């Protein structure tokens, strides 16, 4: 995953976590097993995923750097 995609995950996660105040009252998707969707939790998951992806990208970049 590139830095741009990781940054997009972080930005989308931040918007879901801190900007979107709307919470559904009840969302039922019995085939998937989802009874309630929490956008704030999804935002945190996206932010963590983006941060981990940036960290992995930086680690790979540092390991390939000429010395």
Do 27 and 34 touch, CB atoms closer than 8 A? yes
Per-residue pLDDT, 13: 93
Q: Which residue has the higher pLDDT, 32 or 63?
A: 63
Q: What is the mean pLDDT of residues 24-52?
A: 79
Of 63, 55, 43, 45, which is closest to residue 1 (Cα–Cα)?
55
Which stretches of 1-67 are DSSP H helices? 3-14, 39-64
CA pair distance 33, 6, nearest whole angstrom:
28
The per-residue pLDDT of the chain, averaged, comes to 83
pTM for this entry: 0.75
CA pair distance 67, 63, nearest whole angstrom:
10
Do 50 and 1 touch, CB atoms closer than 8 A? no
Per-residue pLDDT, 6: 92
Q: Examine the pLDDT at 29 and tell me if it is beyond 70.
A: no
């Amino acid at each position: 995953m590139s830095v741009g995609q990781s940054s997009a995950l972080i930005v989308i996660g931040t918007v879901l976590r801190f900007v979107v105040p709307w919470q559904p009252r009840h969302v039922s998707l019995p085939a998937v097993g989802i009874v309630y969707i929490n956008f704030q939790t999804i935002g945190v998951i996206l932010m963590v995923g983006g941060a981990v992806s940036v960290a992995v990208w930086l680690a790979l970049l540092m390991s390939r750097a000429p010395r």
